Amino acid sequence: MNKKILSNKSVLLIATMLSTMMLAASPMVSLVPTTVFAQEDVNAQEDNGDVAVGEGDVGVDPITQTNAQVDVNTNVDTAVVTDEEDCDEASNDVTQEISQPSDQQASRDAEVGEDGLYVNPISQTSVQAAYNINVDYDVILVEGCHPVDNLTQDTSQSSDQQANRDIVVGEGSDLVLPTYQTANQIAEDRQINDDIYMPLPE
């Protein structure tokens, strides 16, 4: 009988230590069965203008558009079930959504006089990073409890870059019009779901 009591205490101690470590790893413990994380990060940049370069003059007109979008949805759920009636509390419905549309527009209406020089470099850079991370740890200390978790993770990213020029050029004029466009997209959905079954002896 003493051995059985010692075994129960050891199992309870291990379960308590695991629960404490998991709770310490998460500053907020979600007790809500359905959790929704939705982020929309909209970035729109527009640079339009009129330029006039006189006869024999030099016009330098650089356009730089830089967009960086980084969004993270992180959810941590932990549960310790000691009663079969509380088994539903260990089941979670989680939705994680990230939307990242990017729009970069640059345009110039320019008039360059005779023997003029117009320099109009356009640089458009877009970087989008989206991370959906869900961690779910459950410690089950009773028989007959099997939590059911439903997880939806979705990421939408789009990048639109346009550079337009309408230029009237005089005789003998020179134009320098380089255009650089770069778009990088990173998306990651990650789920860690682990149920630890350690039913206590009756």
CA angle, 48 then 50 then 56, to 5°: 140
pLDDT at 10: 52
pLDDT at 144 over 90: no
The structural domain count of the chain equals 1
Domain span including residue 182: 30-135+144-192
The mean-pLDDT minimum among 66-70, 83-87, 187-191, 193-197 falls in 83-87
pLDDT of residue 174: 95
Asked, for residue 15, whether it belongs to a domain, the answer is no
0.85 cut: is pTM over it?
no
In a domain, 80, yes or no: yes
Give the pLDDT confidence of 92-124 residue by residue, as tens digits: 999 999 999 999 999 999 999 999 999 999 999
Rounded to 5°, the CA angle 4-8-12 comes to: 170
pLDDT tens digits, one per residue of 156-183: 999 999 999 999 999 999 999 999 999 9
Read off the pLDDT band of 128 (50, 70, 90): very high
Greater confidence (202 vs 126) lies with 126
Predicted confidence (pLDDT) at residue 28 exceeds the cutoff of 50: no
Kindly state the DSSP code that residue 146 receives in the 8-state scheme: -
The reply to whether 8 falls in a domain is: no
1 occurs within a structural domain: no
Mean pLDDT of the chain: 85
Alpha-carbon gap, residue 173 to 158, rounded angstroms: 38
**Residue 7 in domain:** no
Separation of alpha carbons 33 and 35, rounded Å: 7
CA–CA separation, 69 and 130 (whole Å):
8
In a domain, 25, yes or no: no
Q: Are the C-beta atoms of residues 139 and 194 closer than 8 Å to each other? A: no
